[in-house]
Amino acid sequence: MTGTRTPVARAPGFAWPRDVVRVPDEDWVTRPLDEFGVRYNQVGGHAYYQKNLDPLVAQAAVAIRDGQLLVDYSAGTGLLTRRVLDATPARIGVLNVDPSPKFLRVAVENHADDERVAFRLLRQRKEEKRLETLDDVLDPALAGRVDVVTAANAIHLYPDLHSTLTSWHRVLRPGGIVLINSGCLRNPHARRADWVLDDTVDRVNEIVVELVLREPAFARYRENVVDRDRWSAYLAARQKAFVPLRPLDAYTDALSLAGFDVLNVSDATIFVDVAQFAELLVTYHESVLGWVGGTARIAGVGPSEQALRDRFFLIRYGLERTFPTADEFPCNWTYLTRRRKG
């Protein structure tokens, strides 16, 4: 007797709802690629940067399933998105969300041809004096359908943690997973020798200020140091990109208040190549050492070509003085895994 074999049920995979436009028809999408975004995308290929993503990628690949949706929050140029898509056989959707049109424009360049990836820009709502939240930009058809939210090397950039995290809670399904990492927070469990990434920027500034005040070759930059109002303006600009560090408890407490249960908190020491890290700081040169030569936003005119050359040199000089006998330095990264309650 022969029988009919019952077909194996297969997951349908992910499909964007019909009214969801993957690549929005907005002005930032068609702008020329910005050099800053392109350079950041290249820096993201450095070994230390890829290594700090490894635990996040592994967790996301385990957590995500066929037909599910992952939101890559503060996706930047889409570096984590590529890693996750390469790491999982699951047929998923990934929504890249970021407040920088320069970075998100590069993400579109990298992923627009991939039907699994969509893009949303977080804009400043000036009249409300706030940045849009995730549920402000998420399509109604996707609300409550988000299964995983990742935030790689970015959570420390958001001053209003409560607003940011509660918006994640509102769009995640019950039991949805949050995966966060950051090398820019104060972790009391960090090893004594470990650095926090942003501390290097303060140290570079200390070294360069000392050099500028001492060496005649850089005397033309002294006025920005000794003038308190100018120095305060440049410090404020630096702290927009390299925000004052908060302790780990600030994040764990905010996650709990937003309605997320603890699954795991861990940290790792990752060695950062000094020369590669110098490339990152040079990419952010206007924030790192904007007072060397000035910036258009503060001084009214941008730096001269000579000032730019000096700025790049002094960034590398400051790092070499910070790590005089080492090609790399140990840095602490923290990883937070949470689950939405209810």
Q: Which residue has the higher pLDDT, 12 or 85?
A: 85
Over range 279-307, report the average pLDDT: 97
- In this structure, the dihedral spanned by the alpha carbons of residues 284, 287, 293 and 295, taken in order and rounded to 10 degrees, is 110
Letter for the amino acid at 83? R
Long-range contacts of 10-15 (CB under 8 A, 24+ apart): 11/65, 11/66, 11/67, 11/91, 12/66, 12/67, 13/66, 13/67, 13/91, 14/66, 14/67, 14/68, 14/69, 14/91, 14/92, 14/93, 14/116, 15/93
Given a cut of 60, is residue 247 above it in pLDDT?
Answer: yes
Q: Which of 227, 186, 231 is nearest to 205 (CA)?
A: 231
- Global pTM value: 0.93
- CA 219 centroid distance within chain: 36
Over range 217-246, report the average pLDDT: 96
| Average model confidence (pLDDT) across the chain | 95
pLDDT of residue 8: 36
**Lowest-pLDDT range, 11-25, 182-196, 243-257, 282-296?**
11-25
pLDDT of residue 45: 87
Over range 251-270, report the average pLDDT: 98
Q: How far is CA 321 from CA 46, 98, 137, 315, in A?
A: 22, 35, 45, 10
Given a cut of 60, is residue 262 above it in pLDDT?
Answer: yes
pLDDT of residue 12: 57
Over range 189-212, report the average pLDDT: 98
Read off the pLDDT band of 4 (50, 70, 90). very low
User: Each residue of 107-119: pLDDT tens digit?
Assistant: 999 999 999 999 9
**Where do we find the tokens 């309605």?**
259
pLDDT of residue 10: 40
Which DSSP state fits 224?
A: H
Over range 278-296, report the average pLDDT: 97
CA distance 80 to 70: 11
Over range 203-223, report the average pLDDT: 98
Read off the pLDDT band of 7 (50, 70, 90). very low
pLDDT of residue 13: 78
Share of the chain above pLDDT 90, in %: 95
Given a cut of 50, is residue 3 above it in pLDDT?
Answer: no
pLDDT of residue 44: 85
Read off the pLDDT band of 299 (50, 70, 90). very high
With beta carbons less than 8 A apart as the criterion, state whether 147 and 68 touch: yes
